[in-house]
Amino acid sequence: MAQVIADRRDIDFVLYEQLKAEELSQVDRYKDFNKKVFDMIITEARNFAVKELLPTFAEGDREGLRFANGQVNVPECFHRAYELLLEGEWTSLMEDPAWGGQGMPTIVSQAVGEYLYGGNWAVMNYGGMGHGTGKMVEIFGTQQQKELFLKKLYTAQWGGTMLLTEPQAGSDVGALTTSAARNPDGTFTITGNKIFITNGEHDLTENIIHPVLARIEGDSPGTKGISIFLVPKIWVNADGSLGDPNDVVCTGIEEKMGIHASATCSIALGGKGQCRGLLLGEECQGMKIMFYMMNEARLGVGFQAFNYASTAYLYALNYARERIQGRDLAAGKDLEAPQVPIIQHPDVRRMLLGMKAYVDGMRSFVYYVGQCLDREHLATSEDERALYKGYADLLTPLVKAYCAQRGFDVCVQAVQVYGGYGYVKEYPVEQLVRDCKITSIYEGTDGIQAMDLLGRKLGMAKGQVFINFLGEIQKIVAMARQNNELAGLADEVEAAVNRLGEVAMSIGQNAMSSRFKSAFAFAFPFLEVMGDVIMAWMLLWRAALARQQLTAGPRKKDIDFYEGQIKTAEFFIHTILPTTLGKMNGIVKCNGAAVEISEAAFGG
Ligand SMILES: Cc1cc2nc3c(=O)[nH]c(=O)nc-3n(C[C@H](O)[C@H](O)[C@H](O)COP(=O)(O)OP(=O)(O)OC[C@H]3O[C@@H](n4cnc5c(N)ncnc54)[C@H](O)[C@@H]3O)c2cc1C
- pLDDT over threshold 90, residue 92: no
Nearest CA to ligand 1 atom 36: 171
- Strand segments, DSSP code E, in 199-275 are 207-216, 226-232, 234-236, 242-245, 248-253, 264-269
User: Which amino acid, 305?
Assistant: A
Task: Tell me what the mean pLDDT of segment 476-483 comes to.
Answer: 97
pLDDT (0 to 100) of residue 2: 85
Look at residues 247, 249, 252, 248 and name the one whose alpha carbon lies nearest to residue 265.
252
Between the CA of 254 and the centroid of ligand 1 the distance, in Å, is: 15
Give the span between the Cα atoms of 117 and 305, in whole angstroms.
10
Task: Tell me what the mean pLDDT of segment 188-206 comes to.
Answer: 98
CB of 433 within 6 A of ligand 1: the answer is: no
pTM exceeds 0.95: yes
Task: Tell me what the mean pLDDT of segment 72-94 comes to.
Answer: 96
Is residue 427 within 8 A of residue 320, CB to CB? The reply is no
pLDDT band at residue 1 using 50, 70 and 90 as cut-offs: low
pLDDT band at residue 35 using 50, 70 and 90 as cut-offs: very high
Task: Tell me what the mean pLDDT of segment 450-461 comes to.
Answer: 98
Is residue 572 within 8 A of residue 585, CB to CB? The reply is no
- pLDDT over threshold 90, residue 184: yes
- pLDDT over threshold 70, residue 348: yes
Return the higher-pLDDT residue of 37 and 1. 37
What average pLDDT is seen over the chain? 97
Between the CA of 420 and the centroid of ligand 1 the distance, in Å, is: 33
Q: Probe ligand 1: pick from 165, 199, 301, max atoms within 8 Å of CB?
A: 165
What percent of the chain stands above pLDDT 90?
Answer: 98
CB of 264 within 6 A of ligand 1: the answer is: yes
Give the span between the Cα atoms of 27 and 31, in whole angstroms.
6
Is residue 286 within 8 A of residue 217, CB to CB? The reply is no
443 is catalytic: yes
Task: Tell me what the mean pLDDT of segment 73-96 comes to.
Answer: 95
Q: What angle do CA 549, 551, 552 make, to 5 degrees?
A: 65
Beta-bridged to residue 500, according to DSSP, are: none
Nearest CA to ligand 1 atom 39: 171
Beta-bridged to residue 229, according to DSSP, are: 212, 279
- pLDDT over threshold 70, residue 331: yes
Give the span between the Cα atoms of 223 and 175, in whole angstroms.
8
Is residue 406 within 8 A of residue 303, CB to CB? The reply is no
* Cβ atoms < 10 Å from Cβ of 211: 24
pLDDT (0 to 100) of residue 100: 87
Between the CA of 276 and the centroid of ligand 1 the distance, in Å, is: 27
What percent of the chain stands above pLDDT 70?
Answer: 100
